[in-house]
Amino acid sequence: MTEGSAPAERGAREQGEANGVTRQRNEREILAAAERVFARHGYRGASLQAIAEQAGLPKSNVLYYMGSKRGLYVRLLERMMERWNALLDDISVEDDPAEVLEAFIRSKMQLSRRHPEGSRLFAAEILGGAPFLQEYLRGELRDWVQARARIFEQWAERGLMDPVDPVWLIFLIWSATQHYADFEAQVLGITGRDALSDADVEEITTFLTRVILKGCGIRSRDAEPAA
């Protein structure tokens, strides 16, 4: 189409068609390095030189593959949004609130765990005023939140949970889970660890699930029915 920015895309007949193995490997390496650098220093603070060094390639090669700094950044954001959307499964009023919320917390926690750099990249983008993601926030994501909110409200009407504001509840879950990726340095510094183990993450997930569910008056199906 009317692209013409990246020579690589002229070469590869169409975007996404896999050619060489070295190409794939280099792209993977560049994207991983860029995610680290952008996450750490933000869009402006990241330098192509640093990205190239971390990827073990000359700067020119990074530009050959990615076209421009902005293009590279946008591509990383889109990749992260795809990962995010992958766990935005639909729910229904008939579902069990406890199961849905626990799955929500757990999958969100795993996303932060599996892609900590991507999580921080996203955080840095929002922190800077979301110049590239405003459309996504005001559109797709907003609709998703409001759809869920309506279901939470219906659950509350049916007495399955307390009548709490569903949007604030979603933000609470997002912030609590995101925290362990974005503020990793703080968490490690205060707890005196080198890294969070799988067991730690499981423990935190259990803690968050218990506190938040109980805080909303949601009773787990297979749990004590009363305190």
Residue from 207, 220, 221, 222 that binds a second copy (CB under 8 A)? 207
Phi-psi region of 219 (alpha: psi -120 to 50; beta: other; left: phi over 0): beta
Residue from 23, 32, 42, 95 that binds a second copy (CB under 8 A)? 42
* Residue from 220, 225, 192 nearest 206 by CA: 220
Residue 74 CB, shortest distance to a second copy, in Å, is 17
- Residue 26 near which of a second copy, DNA, none (CB within 5-8 Å, type-dependent): DNA
- Which amino acid type is present at position 106? R
Residue 13 CB, shortest distance to DNA, in Å, is 8
Q: Does 177 bind DNA (CB under 7 A)?
A: no
Cα 126 from Cα 139, distance rounded (Å): 15
Cα 35 from Cα 76, distance rounded (Å): 7
* Residue from 178, 166, 168 nearest 126 by CA: 178
Q: Does 190 bind a second copy (CB under 8 A)?
A: yes
Contact yes or no for 96/151 (Cβ under 8 A): no
Cα 20 from Cα 17, distance rounded (Å): 10
Contact yes or no for 34/76 (Cβ under 8 A): yes
Cα 185 from Cα 181, distance rounded (Å): 9
Nearer to DNA, 22 or 92 (CB): 22
Q: Does 60 bind DNA (CB under 7 A)?
A: yes
Q: Does 8 bind DNA (CB under 7 A)?
A: yes
Where does this chain touch DNA (CB under 7 A) — which range of 22-30, 90-98, 113-121, 188-196?
22-30
Q: Does 61 bind DNA (CB under 7 A)?
A: yes
Angle between helices 21-45 and 48-55 (to 10 degrees): 140
Binding interface with a second copy (CB under 8 A): 39-46, 120, 123-124, 126-130, 134, 137-138, 141-142, 145, 164-165, 167-169, 171-172, 174-176, 178-180, 182-183, 185-187, 189-192, 203-204, 207-208, 210-217, 227
Binding interface with DNA (CB under 7 A): 7-8, 10-12, 19-20, 22-23, 26, 46-50, 57-61, 63-65, 68-70
